[in-house]
Amino acid sequence: MPAYEYKGLNQQGKTVKGVKEADNPRMLKTLLRKEGIFLTDLYESKAGTVDKKKLVGNEKKSDGLLNKEIDFAKYFQRVTLQEIALFTRQLATLTNAGIPLVESLTALTDQTDNEKFKRILSQIKERVNEGTPLAEALREHPAAFDNLYVNMVRAGESAGALEKVLYRLAEFNEKQMALRRQVSGALVYPAVMSGVGVLIVIILMTFVVPKITKLFEDINATLPVYTQALITVSNLMSSYWFIVFPLIGFGIYSLRRYLKTDKGIAAYDRFVLRVPIFGGLVRMVATSRFASTMATLLSSGVPMLAAMDIVKTIVGNTVLAKVIEDARDNVREGESLAVPLKRSGEFDPIVGHMITIGERSGHLEEMLGHVAVAYESQVETRVQQLTSLLEPLILVAMAVVVGFIIMSIMMPIMQLNNAIRG
């Protein structure tokens, strides 16, 4: 196994070097990444000497394979929020250690295993090397770096505090990731239970019920209304499945298409906010996102109006986004931020009170940070409550549906049995 001499930076930004064995340079990079070391230089060591030529030859072979991977990966890979958060924290560490920006981007490009993200970082590095500001280079890749990210980096570059802004961005992305994981993780079990329940009902209605109800047809028995309804639905699903299921699929497709239109999105967002229990959770998540993003932007030096322009695009609800847009127009005319938010009735009163206190004391971003923390805690509590509530509700719903099927079958059988005995 070949040995490699390397130089790199640890998570504290200090230079480290050493010799390590690995099957190939890529394996070595993976091993060092697990140890928290960002690779900057790498040479193959053999018999106490450094053989740069051999390493370059190996890298060229690897590049050939890499190009094939890129062609394949570009259709399937995507840049995740987790990769963006990790890149941001690593870039903050490197810049804070005094490493030039281009060298930092070079090291981070080599670190990533995502070929799509590697291409993006390579293009950003080239643009920065040509003299383009980092924010402008990032802006050319909106699929990976949104307006919030670009504007915060621009503010950091203007204020000469890029590493501080990057640290704030990393923390913000990590919090958003944790919130997203919490909400999606809490919904996994109910979604699986619902899917299993629907599958069971389809199997019963398609294969089991028709065989049993055929007995009733043979004896021309008078059936209860609910049994007749069950037989009708079962016949539709078993005999006309080639019409029923495509119709259901077309209905779902049409609904999805409608919900992607401006009118559909607005109608859905209004409906979601009014749904009992879930509407409150959606409002809490949006409020937490609004407060934390505003606090991050303002503390990074982004002007109030520009910050509100960014925030309205990330709250995830058009109704609340319209409230923020109207509030921005009022702030431009000299009104307090808290007043239009209170007037809208879409944000909880406590949000307006906290913002009012922040504006009066001159610590608006700090108060918004407190609001964000409070609502993040409420979201966590509400998600736990909903999870514990959803599971029994789904079980009850499944029991009701299966019980209805069993009752619709058993009641006629019991009536026939009583008639025969009588």
Instruction: Give the model's pLDDT for residue 45.
Output: 57
Note the pLDDT tens digit of each residue in 20-63: 777 777 777 777 777 777 777 776 655 444 444 444 334 433 44
Residue 74's nearest CA partner among 63, 85, 86, 66 is 66
CA triple 141-145-148, angle to 5 deg? 130
Domain boundaries, the chain: 3-73, 81-170, 171-422
Q: Name which residue leads in pLDDT, 225 or 58.
A: 225
Whole-prediction pTM: 0.61
The pLDDT-based confidence of 70 (bands split at 50, 70, 90) is very low
Q: What is the mean pLDDT of the chain?
A: 80
Reduce the DSSP state of residue 221 to 3 states and report it.
coil
Q: Name which residue leads in pLDDT, 199 or 40.
A: 199
Query: Residue 407 pLDDT more than 50?
Result: yes
d(CA 151, CA 139): 9
Instruction: Give the model's pLDDT for residue 64.
Output: 41
Average pLDDT over every residue of 326-337: 90
Are the CB atoms for 337 and 359 separated by under 8 Å? yes
At 47, the amino acid letter reads A
d(CA 86, CA 93): 11
CATH fold of 171-422 reads Receptor-associated Protein (1.20.81)
Query: Residue 234 pLDDT more than 60?
Result: yes
Instruction: Give the model's pLDDT for residue 77.
Output: 66
Query: Residue 358 pLDDT more than 80?
Result: yes
Average pLDDT over every residue of 164-182: 79
Instruction: Give the model's pLDDT for residue 362.
Output: 87
Average pLDDT over every residue of 245-271: 90
Average pLDDT over every residue of 357-371: 90
d(CA 421, CA 418): 5
Residue 52's nearest CA partner among 64, 41, 44, 60 is 44
| Structure tokens belonging to residue 209 | 């019920």
CATH fold of 81-170 reads Receptor-associated Protein (1.20.81)
Instruction: Give the model's pLDDT for residue 420.
Output: 67
Domains 81-170 and 171-422 are alike in CATH topology: yes
| Structure tokens belonging to residue 270 | 């209004």
Q: Name which residue leads in pLDDT, 47 or 141.
A: 141
Weakest-pLDDT range from 2-11, 16-25, 58-67, 81-90? 58-67
| Structure tokens belonging to residue 272 | 């979601």
Note the pLDDT tens digit of each residue in 377-387: 888 788 778 77
d(CA 321, CA 214): 57
The pLDDT-based confidence of 405 (bands split at 50, 70, 90) is confident
The pLDDT-based confidence of 293 (bands split at 50, 70, 90) is confident
Instruction: Give the model's pLDDT for residue 69.
Output: 40
Question: Which of 36-40, 120-124, 151-155, 394-398 is predicted most confidently?
Answer: 120-124
Instruction: Give the model's pLDDT for residue 50.
Output: 44
Query: Residue 4 pLDDT more than 60?
Result: yes
d(CA 138, CA 135): 5
Query: Residue 351 pLDDT more than 70?
Result: yes
Average pLDDT over every residue of 330-346: 89
| Structure tokens belonging to residue 324 | 């923020």
